[in-house]
Structure 1
Amino acid sequence: MHKVVIHKAGGYEQLTLETHPVPEPGDRQVLIRTEAVGVNYADICVRWGVYEAARRFVGWPITPGFEYAGRVEEVGREVRHLKPGDAVFGVTLFNGYSTHVCAPADLVWPKPEALDYEAAAGFLAVHLTAYHGLLQNVVIRPGMRVLVHSAGGGVGSALVQLCKLHGLDTTGVVGASHKVEYVRRLGADAVIDKSTHSLWREARRLCPDGYDLIFDANGPETLAQSYAHLRPTGKLLVYGFHTLLPKRGGRINYLKAALGMLKMPRFNPLLMTAENRGVVAFNLSFLFGRADLLQAAVNDLTAWVDEGKIAVPKVRSFALVDVAEAHRALESGETTGKLVMRTAPPS
């Protein structure tokens, strides 16, 4: 099989495509021949050597990748719900950038018919993150006011759709004008283009009393003001720190990263109690041990896709051999929707 391997932290040059033996599934595992695999910002953090779960669970060398879609090649002897030839998609704690994935059977599900392999490969990581943040961390009520940063990206796109599906008044924030119409088509009630407007002046104009929920993966650039723009009982939901990791040519600028750490807000529980506001932080890779939560999320998400309640995500695809180009595109901040890599040979 072929897989991307990173032997040490660094730039795009650390992404090497290597040949390795195909793994054999254990009793409760499934071997999948992938057709496509998802590309996520967490994969870039893995390459930089700053992703906590990668350091804790794997170390070097490592194959990045959290999601894939393909066909079952072999199942372990205790697996009953899948068989060879089944079209599936799933999540994996790394090792996704590969032509073959050996995964726990309870993290593999039948692929929705509404999604082709490329769309399916880019579906789970962002939608599970959005679902967990919105539907497993807070209690929502129709009409709540929500602000979604990076609304044109993978998780942001999923959040906008899930918010609208549940009757929430949703404002999306984008960093480039070409993303505005895309986020509007997802259903956002308003879109703030921070490349042409003052983000917080517009946010305050649209919701003078403050937001019930704000989803923020930016880091020190926006976290303090996001918290300040919550209404009483509001929640700030944090799932990333993109602006903490400024980069150039695929490498982290460590001086700017250190300055970013100094700007990271500290939330005081005493003040949070007095202001009646909260902060919730989460990370999908540390949720893999909760198959019950993941299964509940996948059940709902696949039903909504099949019923047409969630639009098929916009996908841009690369070949596995062009993994560096995929990382470069995602780092640019110019993309919308999801990036995936094709792993099956051309037909």
Structure 2
Amino acid sequence: MRARKVVIEKAGGYEQLHLRNLNQVSPGPGEVVVATEAIGVNYADCVIRMGLYASAKEFVGWPITPGFEFSGTVVSVDAGVTDLAVGTRVFGVTRFGGYSTHVAVPRHQVFALPSRLTMEQAAGFPAVFLTAYYALFELAHPRAGSTVLVHSAAGGVGSALLQLGRIAGCRMVGVVGGPHKVEAARALGADVVIDKSREDLWAAAERASPRGYDVVLDANGPSTLRDSYKHLASPGKLVIYGFHSMLPRTGGRPNYAKLAWDWLRTPRFDPLTLTNDNMSVLAFNLSYLFEQRGILEESMARLLGWVEEGKLVSPQVTRFPLDAVAEAHKALESGTTVGKLVLVP
């Protein structure tokens, strides 16, 4: 197989996704090299391409190869790595660089392939489940019996949140954007599914939980943040992990006038008001957490335990060849997909 990677030279649309030949990849100190068989595609990758992802600018700059997750086979290891053999089937995470036939990553970011997951399922597992785990268990800490509202409940993170909420004993209310996503959300653990294409989102949310929500998980941004906060119970927690509604559904390029308008209408949460309302607003960016070895290892150990017990299932996977990366980005940005998209070298 010819070694290749996707390179973005500068911010822009789908035309900026270039396939380039890749020189031999060797492990650095404490690293392993994996020949990838599948690569997860996340909305953050599209944001990187548009030049709007802060940590990509901070840690890499241009040119950049996007990609946070992969699966494949170990092809070489640093001499200091003694607990992982060449030929082991693995999956893992990387802070950028994943859209490649070969990746070199620190040993602690690689995990043995679970028996219940295929290579493609495993490649789409870490980013969404680690995001969902951190949001729910590290930040929100819901008690059994809590009522939780999940936006984009049929997407990758949303479907992971539904399953984890079920494990936590919560009553899960999922919001989806079309009738074709309703059954998917219900099968993954939603007790109530709101199809906002057919009914008023917030009227339905009030019917589902008249007292409000103990936790609301929102990656939409200004289109829903203000109302998400208004529909919290007391005490309640709003967890923010994205701003998808600020970005385009078609065309692949940001509308800077819309970005400015959305920035202006994004709610600012005043600490005095939060204290009086008895509510919390929490937020995070997963790309800053990969170096937090303790968090990563503990989270993945619990998640993989639930996978082996059959309590978690990987999201539905849609495949794209690596050289169709632009089509994968178009599909993801459209908001019509269910589950995860993966690139197959």
TM bucket (normalised to shorter chain) is over 0.9
Residue equivalent to 1:309: 311
- Distance in 2 (CA, whole Å) between partners of 1:292 and 1:80 is 20
Residue equivalent to 2:47: 45
- Distance in 1 (CA, whole Å) between partners of 2:198 and 2:54 is 35
Q: What does 1:23-42 correspond to in 2, within 5 Å? A: 23-42=25-44
The Cα of 1:312 is off from its aligned counterpart by 2.7
TM-score by length of 2: 0.98
- Distance in 2 (CA, whole Å) between partners of 1:76 and 1:26 is 6
- Distance in 2 (CA, whole Å) between partners of 1:187 and 1:48 is 34
> Are 1:285 and 2:273 counterparts?
no
Residue equivalent to 2:266: 264
Gaps of 5+ in 1: none
Residue equivalent to 1:146: 148
Residue equivalent to 1:86: 88
Paired positions, count: 343
Residue equivalent to 2:9: 7
- Distance in 1 (CA, whole Å) between partners of 2:249 and 2:160 is 26
> Given that residues 247 and 253 in structure 1 are in contact (C-alpha distance below 8 angstroms), is that contact kept between their aligned partners in structure 2?
no
The Cα of 1:27 is off from its aligned counterpart by 2.4
- Distance in 1 (CA, whole Å) between partners of 2:304 and 2:292 is 18
- Distance in 2 (CA, whole Å) between partners of 1:139 and 1:240 is 19
Give, as a single letter, the amino acid of the residue that structure 1 aligns with 2:301.
Answer: N
Gaps of 5+ in 2: none
Residue equivalent to 1:125: 127
Q: CA RMSD in A?
A: 0.8
Q: What does 1:124-203 correspond to in 2, within 5 Å? A: 124-203=126-205
- Distance in 2 (CA, whole Å) between partners of 1:201 and 1:95 is 43
> Given that residues 214 and 237 in structure 2 are in contact (C-alpha distance below 8 angstroms), is that contact kept between their aligned partners in structure 1?
yes
> Given that residues 10 and 47 in structure 1 are in contact (C-alpha distance below 8 angstroms), is that contact kept between their aligned partners in structure 2?
yes
- Distance in 1 (CA, whole Å) between partners of 2:24 and 2:125 is 25
Moved more, 288-297 or 241-250: 241-250
- Distance in 2 (CA, whole Å) between partners of 1:193 and 1:248 is 22
- Distance in 1 (CA, whole Å) between partners of 2:253 and 2:8 is 14
The Cα of 1:140 is off from its aligned counterpart by 2.1
The Cα of 1:14 is off from its aligned counterpart by 0.3
- Distance in 2 (CA, whole Å) between partners of 1:100 and 1:151 is 32
Give, as a single letter, the amino acid of the residue that structure 1 aligns with 2:143.
Answer: R
The Cα of 1:247 is off from its aligned counterpart by 4.7
Deviations 1:171-195 (A, max 9, x none): 0001111101110111100000000
Q: Secondary structure at the match of 1:27?
A: coil
Moved over 2 A (4+): none
Q: What does 1:313-332 correspond to in 2, within 5 Å? A: 313-332=315-334
Moved more, 246-255 or 11-20: 246-255
> Given that residues 246 and 256 in structure 1 are in contact (C-alpha distance below 8 angstroms), is that contact kept between their aligned partners in structure 2?
no
The Cα of 1:81 is off from its aligned counterpart by 2.0
> Given that residues 65 and 98 in structure 2 are in contact (C-alpha distance below 8 angstroms), is that contact kept between their aligned partners in structure 1?
yes
> Are 1:205 and 2:207 counterparts?
yes
- Distance in 1 (CA, whole Å) between partners of 2:277 and 2:254 is 36
Residue equivalent to 1:220: 222
- Distance in 2 (CA, whole Å) between partners of 1:5 and 1:85 is 27
- Distance in 2 (CA, whole Å) between partners of 1:248 and 1:331 is 7
Q: Secondary structure at the match of 1:55?
A: helix
Q: Secondary structure at the match of 2:97?
A: coil
Which of residues 106, 109, 114 in structure 2 aligns to 1:107?
109
